[in-house]
Amino acid sequence: GQQVMQIPQYQHVQEGEDFTTYCNSSTTLSNIQWYKQRPGGHPVFLIQLVKSGEVKKQKRLTFQFGEAKKNSSLHITATQTTDVGTYFCAVNTNAGKSTFGDGTTLTVKP
């Protein structure tokens, strides 16, 4: 099945700094989804990317899908303390199996 590697595992930033997490695969991905999980919470769907080279923005969050559809990134501009949590990428199969990356845990120092 499709596997995704996510880096870095942890990222500590000062409030106001930018943050990026990367999701990489050795195979071409049909899609990529991004989720955020707050400490002690459940995954919350952020966005889905399906097209080669796709870029989507949600306020301070920018999501990209690589041209070869083998990688994706999530970039947060000017982090805030509300951004803390673990960000997961995930890939879906036709039958509903979603394979999650290991996640990047973001901490933001005020």
Partner 1 sequence: EPEVTQTPSHQVTQMGQEVILRCVPISNHLYFYWYRQILGQKVEFLVSFYNNEISEKSEIFDDQFSVERPDGSNFTLKIRSTKLEDSAMYFCASSEYIGPVNYGYTFGSGTRLTVV
Helix (H, G, I), strand (E, B) or coil at 82: helix
Q: Could you tell me if 62 and 72 are in contact, meaning their C-beta atoms sit under 8 angstroms apart?
A: no
Q: Which is nearer to partner 1, 17 or 56 (CB)?
A: 56
Q: Is 66 in the site for partner 1 (CB under 8 A)?
A: no
- Shortest CB 16 distance to partner 1, Å: 28
**For 99, phi and psi rounded to 5 degrees?**
-100, 120
Tokens of 79: 């982090």
Question: What is the total count of residues that contact partner 1 (CB under 8 A)?
Answer: 28
Those residues whose C-beta lies under 8 Å from the C-beta of residue 96, and which sit 6 or more positions away, are none
**Among the listed residues 24, 48, 62, 77, the single contact to partner 1 using CB under 8 A:** 48
The distance of closest approach from Cβ of residue 75 to partner 1 in the complex, given in angstroms and rounded to an integer, is 19
The answer to the question of residue 101 lying near partner 1 (CB under 8 A) is yes
Considering only 3, 5, 18, 41, the residue that binds partner 1 (CB under 8 A) is 41
Q: What share of the chain is helix, strand, coil (3-state, %, to 5)?
A: 5, 55, 45
Q: Shortest distance, CB of residue 14 to partner 1, whole angstroms?
A: 24
